[in-house]
Structure 1
Amino acid sequence: MALSMMSFKKTKIIEARFSDFNNFSRRSLAASVKTVDVLSFGAKGDGSTDDSKAFGNAWKEACSSSQDVNFVVPKSKTYLLKPLRFTGPCKSHITMEINGAILASDNRADYSKDNRHWLIFDRVDNLVVEGGGTINGNGNIWWQNSCKINKSKPCKSAPTALTFYKCTSLVVKNLKIQNAQQIHLSFEKCTNVQASNLVVNAPEKSPNTDGIHVTGTQNIQISSCIIGTGDDCISIVSGSKKVQATDITCGPGHGISIGSLGSGNSEEYVSDVVVNRAKLSGTTNGVRIKTWQGGSGSASNIKFQNIEMKNVKNPIIVDQNYCDQDGPCKQQASAVQVKNVVYQNIKGTSASKVAIDFDCSKSHPCQGIVLQNVNFVGADGAKSKAVCNNVNLQNSGTVIPQCP
């Protein structure tokens, strides 16, 4: 009995010491993280006062800190920002907690120095951007002045709402991004990226408002995102490698696209892409690869799997004769090679008669294309059809429709 009581006392002493250690560890951890609140730097958050200077000064403080930093954008407020660049490299890890709403200036003169970007994180490593808040590109004035909406207007670039440029070990999660001036979210020349639980939306007729754009980026995982815009839900372009998109809900928009590649006779490459578990509804395209004539390079080692589509106009499409210009594109001999592409477990309804469309190059036919367990019917229950030009194709399992 005495021995049991002694053991009990020792256990209590050990538990107390362990608890003290945990409390000390938590205090030490809390002490090692510095909080930088934009309100402390003069931000008003009233939706009409320009808070750009406050955000810029807060970022300088955060980026120069030797401690890890929580950069806080408090909730229940709207912060009006002109174009702003958050520049690295920084001395420590930064977590930007966007709890409130960030609203873009709609004065186009504010973008005279750089009409391609609104908010850009430039060469910032070990960055987390999260918080559940909203980033609003306030893009209506840009859409109204787009040549795609008003043919009398000149065709000019508009800003991307949120850009990450040459960032490594990056996490972007739990945000709403809406009404971008042009592209909503762009990852450019980044490495090791996780983008998850994002809600991206803009009106269906807003021009060039891609949801998530991936260019020159390697090892990126996009997951659990809901995207509905006026252009591609996800667009993957040159220099991108090891791209995974999982659990994506898409619509309205132009679907999930690789390309365009090879414009202006350029040499471009995309490889090792997996799109797994996606639902597309009412989109112009489903899963698409698009390349210009005259280009070179390749789109290779691509897998689209476990995808459901409802009322999609072009569910599966490869277009090596892509031409997005007013006049016709002239015939050219060279082309971006499309090879080793697998479509597996894809089903749904096609809003057009052609559910599968392989319009490949005569000089560089599509190689190693596999359709496995693919089944489409027309939206009205009618038979759909496949159009297959210059494609090396293998069918496996049930494939409806099949190439003639």
Structure 2
Amino acid sequence: MGRAFLFLFYFFLAALSLVIMVATEEEDIALWEGQMENWTEEEARQEENEILGRIHVNVKNHGAVGDGIADDTQAFLSAWNTSCGQKHSVFFVPKGNTYLVRAARFKGPCADDFTVQISGIIKAPEEPGDWYTSSPRNWLVFSKLKGVRFHGRGVIDGSGSKWWAASCKINKTNPCRGAPTAMTIESSSGIIVRRLQFKNSQQIHLTVFKSDAVILSHLQIEAPFNSPNTDGIHLSESSNIVVKSCVIETGDDCISIVNGCSNIEMNDIHCGPGHGISIGSLGKSNSEVAVSTIVLDKAVLRGTTNGVRIKTWQGGSGYARAITFQNVKMIDVHNPIIIDQFYCDSSTPCQNQTSAVKVSEVLFRDIRGTSKTANAIKLACSDTVPCNDIILHNVKLKAANGGSVKTFCNCVAGFVEGAVEPPVECLRTDSCSCGGSQRPRQGLDLRWELHTEL
């Protein structure tokens, strides 16, 4: 009787602890989302004050119909040219209308104190056959701007459903081809993009390319979980970028950071569904890369196919270093922590190569939650260019189904601080050759789905 009582007592304590843990986690997420809403209203009031007394150049006054059927592209370009040339002006897309706009490039530089206010819905053509062949990979491009603010609570709708249906990922008989990125900030500096919604892009939703000092905040990005290649935010050849307080639900990476990026800060990110938050892919086609000083601080990932990830191709060179992932909550995530130097985004197996992108100085700190895969931590590094200075500090990952989780290592050196679960006993303490360490077996299928083409 006494043993039965003790068993029931301990079972009750365990169940109570589980309930408290789950409740605390949900409260953390609810608090985070509530803070986003409060920040949103405060910024909205600030934005309203910022545009008082400015010259509003309304696209409707330049011939935009706004019925979602008539082609408003030329009206937008006309309004842009007028507003861009005037100080203290606002390129204004009013709410209450849907504007059909084809591929267009909005060029700077513009006059001082220029604002883009998108309050209505900007919609892309639905039919892939209607797309301009002169701009197959871009929809709305904003280039050579300095000190410009984008805001307005409007929607940028890529109308991507027919593009996805034609994808070779969805219909294997179709040829693989590229598709447009919804919005691109290119060759610009001092840019703020906030309080906009992106949805159903043909491919990537928002790209920052060859730009410096850009803030992306309070963005909502959404596309179905099975929409191919619909990355949320894609950063390339850019530096001093802040991504904060964004909710991203897509069919690919919530945030992807590729070659030429440095000094990137991401915080308060809600990701999922999607493929997680990724550095890479890097080193494709034997290319040389440089990525450094990347920080993700405070994020919630829910139901993603990867968590925080670094992915590189065999045959590449260069480096990815000084990378921090911290204060991350994983909820039913596949592959919560992953370094993959055998990334192969190809329809055919990739050949083994000895050169590789050097991955070093990576910190995973205060990461907790549940894994949908047995390998909660996977550190698969190159035999010839091992990963060095990989640190895991206070990591606690459990199986989503109540089973067990484990760690996989190949040629990775670093150390553990604090409590780490599952244990990382395969982590080497030196950077010598990795003979005798675990490695993928010859012929093991390491292929991932096609990413660069539809």
Asked if 1:257 is matched to 2:278, the reply is: yes
1:173 aligned partner: 194
How do 1:303-318 and structure 2 match up within 5 A? 303-318=324-339
Question: What stretches of structure 1 move > 4 A for 4+ residues in a row?
Answer: 29-32
For residues 118-139 of structure 1, the C-alpha deviation after alignment (integer angstroms, 9 at most, x for no partner) is 0000111111110001100000
Could you tell me whether the CA contact under 8 Å between 2:336 and 2:376 is conserved in 1?
Answer: yes
Tell me the percent identity: 48
Query: 1:40-72: per-residue Cα shift (whole Å, max 9, x none)?
Result: 10111111111101000000101222x221111
Contact 1:89 1:124 in 2 (8 A): yes
Tell me which structure has the larger Cα radius of gyration: 1
Cα 1:31/1:339, change in 2 over 3 Å? closer
Task: Please say if 1:114 is aligned against 2:131.
Answer: no
Task: Quote how far apart the aligned CAs of 1:100 are.
Answer: 0.8
With over 3 angstroms needed to count, the CA separation of the structure-2 counterparts of 1:30 and 1:180, relative to structure 1, is: closer
Pairs within 5 Å for 1:91-110: 91-108=111-128, 109-110=130-131
Secondary structure in structure 2 of the residue aligned to 1:285:
coil
Among 165, 186, 189, which residue is 1:144 paired with?
165
Which of residues 207, 228, 233 in structure 2 aligns to 1:186?
207
Aligned CA RMSD, in angstroms, stands at 1.2
Q: Which has the higher strand share?
A: 1
Match of 1:204 among 196, 214, 225: 225
Q: Does structure 2 retain, via aligned residues, the 8 Å contact 1:93–1:125?
A: no
**Is this contact kept in 2: 1:344–1:372, CA < 8 A?**
yes
Matched, 1:74 2:87: no
Distance 1:346 1:31, change over 3 A: closer
Q: 1:320 aligns with which of 309, 334, 341?
A: 341
Q: Do 1:199 and 1:227's aligned partners in 2 also have CA atoms closer than 8 Å?
A: yes
In the TM superposition, what whole-angstrom CA distance separates every residue of 1:19-57 from its partner, at most 9, and x where no partner exists? xxxxxxxxxx98973211111101111111111010000
Shift of 1:194: 0.5
Contact 1:161 1:182 in 2 (8 A): yes
1:93 partner letter? D
Name 1:227's counterpart in structure 2: 248
Does 2:357 correspond to 1:339? no
**Distance in 2 separating the partners of 1:31 and 1:139:** 36
Paired residues of 2:90 and 2:116 also in contact (CA < 8 A): yes
Judge conservation of contact 1:285–1:314 (CA < 8 Å) in 2.
yes
Q: Give the conservation status (yes or no) of the 8 Å contact 2:51–2:90.
A: no
Quote how far apart the aligned CAs of 1:245 are.
0.5
- Residue in 2 that maps onto 1:15: none
Which residue matches 1:18?
A: none
The TM-score, its normalising length taken from structure 2, stands at 0.81
Q: Give distance in 2, aligned partners of 1:91 and 1:122.
A: 14
Name the CA distance, whole Å, in 2 between partners of 1:31 and 1:150: 50
Aligned residues: 375
Rounded Cα–Cα distance in structure 2 between residues aligned with 1:224 and 1:188:
21
CA contact (8 A) 1:284 1:313 kept: yes
State whether structure 2 residue 216 is matched by structure 1 residue 195: yes
- Counterpart of 1:245 (choices 263, 266, 283) is 266
Distance, in Å, in 1 between the alignment partners of 2:328 and 2:380 is: 21
Which amino acid in structure 1 is aligned with residue 315 of structure 2?
Answer: G
| Unmatched segments (≥5 aa) in structure 2 | 1-49, 426-454
CA contact (8 A) 1:122 1:165 kept: yes
1:375 to 393, 396, 404: 396
